[in-house]
Amino acid sequence: MEINKVVNVIGAGLAGCECAHILASHGVKVNLYEMKPNKKSPAHHTDLFAELVCSNSLKSEEITNACGLLKYEMGMLGSLMMEAALATRVKAGAALAVDRDKFSEYITKKILENKNITVIYDEVCDIEKLLGTVVIATGPLTSDTLSNNISKIIGQEKLYFYDAAAPIILRESIDMSVAYEKDRWHDDEKGDYLNLPMSKEEYDVFYNELINARSADRHSFDTIENIVHFEGCMPIESMAKRGEKTMLFGPLKPVGLRKDENHKPYAVVQLRAENKEKTMYNMVGFQTSLAFPEQKRVFSLIPGLENAEFVRYGVMHKNTYINAPHILDYNFKLKNKVDDIYFAGQISGVEGYVESAASGLMVAYNILFGKYFEGSMFKEETMLGALAKYIATENKNFQPMNANFGIIKQSDTKIKDKKKRYEIYANNSLNCIKELKNELENIRRRLEK
């Protein structure tokens, strides 16, 4: 594959290694910059590439699970992460878990042995000094120096340092016999918000469980105090602990949200559409630091959310990421720049190990073949394409996103059985990936002639 200049990949995490490996396997010369071992972020402890800093699980292997489908798609396209995971897996039921040290060792060895990859152990401080295409894959704990440089290039207001986000729920899992559409004070039948009313008895149960729920374990550098100070926001559980009625003057305020003149709720939880298709809804004002199982347990006590399916749990943690819809196109490429600058990994606005590696894979293929396609080469029917579309689609309330079936292009087939419906999505997706592989192979053959 002919690429005129060396591709510079900054960061040897999951996204950077995935991107470098795909490029190098197609004959492209790559400079892979990694600041370890000279400098480490607070979360890293080894000198290895693709270090897993939290869980050793890569989530479900089931094809009817969104992350499971994403892994199948990546495997079909030559993913190094998937190769390493299958070679170093440990038993974990339906999940794909790995021996974290052997996993990182496997990827590090593959990268170092590749003759098309030159590893440069140095911190990049000025992106614009690098010649050729640049891929920024520096992760959620990007160094202060590089963060300042990125801010200079994209604009200070488009780079975030803390992720204080509320849970996101699939609409199909919300009990619509309880919820009603209405904007505050508006008398229209339809509105931009779904409203979940609570009686005093229901509120009291929810309140008591919320203030006694267990918080997530945190790194020493990742304190709630820092996030609250930076964002000017407060976890919903901290607000509740200020007083039994505090939430009633905040996100659960019922004023102006009566369903009709005979309706008088004690409290109302509002859900705001997360995408134009209204397949996902955000719990307004529910940024939280509760452990994920506790969020599922406590928030399911809210009337209408008894069977809620969370596509993303609320988080409050240190996480450098960009306002992707404003500055990236469907190829993860910076808009309106003469130079080719791409973002990959969590800094691009995806969330999770697999999603980070997936973005690196997509960036590599976009560099290699993007010019031969109009728009994204990854169709919206695939989980890869759905993530790319989410990243690039205008969204006033953009939050980093995991793979989930709420973002994939919905089938016209109306099937109530969720597992069967997801099987249809998965089959459509894998057929699209097969077609893409054939198309890429045809392009390669034409270029070799």
What is the per-residue pLDDT across 343-377, written as a single tens digit (0 to 9) for each? 999 999 999 999 999 999 999 999 999 999 988 89
- Identify the band that residue 304 occupies on the pLDDT scale cut at 50, 70 and 90: very high
Tell me which DSSP letter residue 213 carries: P
- In the chain, pLDDT over 90 holds for what percent of residues? 63
Q: In this model, does residue 161 exceed pLDDT 70?
A: no
Residues comprising the chain, all counted: 449
Q: pLDDT band at 8, cuts 50/70/90?
A: very high
Domain ranges of the chain: 7-163+318-448, 168-313
Among the listed residues 290, 365, 191, 248, the one whose alpha carbon sits nearest the alpha carbon of residue 300: 290
Instruction: Look at residue 401 and tell me whether its pLDDT is greater than 60.
Output: yes
pLDDT (0 to 100) of residue 300: 97
Is the distance from CB of 74 to CB of 85 less than 8 angstroms? no
**Res. 230: pLDDT tops 50:** no
Q: What is the CA angle 284-287-291, rounded to 5?
A: 130
What is residue 220's predicted lDDT score, i.e. its pLDDT? 53
CATH number of the domain located at residue range(s) 7-163+318-448 in this protein:
3.50.50.60
The reply to whether omega before 37 is within 30° of 0 (cis) is yes
Q: What is the pTM of this model?
A: 0.83
Which of 45-54, 65-74, 170-179 shows the lowest mean pLDDT across its residues?
45-54
Architecture of domain 168-313: Beta Barrel (2.40)
- Alpha-carbon dihedral 317, 322, 325, 331, rounded to 10 degrees: -120
Please measure the distance between the N-terminal and C-terminal CA atoms of the chain and give it in whole angstroms. Answer: 12
Query: pLDDT grade, residue 163 (50/70/90)?
Result: low
Q: CA 253, CA 197: separation in Å to the nearest integer?
A: 10
Question: What span, in angstroms and rounded, lies between the C-alpha atoms of 281 and 130?
Answer: 41
Mean pLDDT for all residues in the chain: 89
Range from 45-59, 82-96, 210-224 carrying the lowest mean pLDDT = 210-224
Instruction: Report pLDDT digits (tens) over 257-283.
Output: 888 888 899 999 999 888 888 899 999
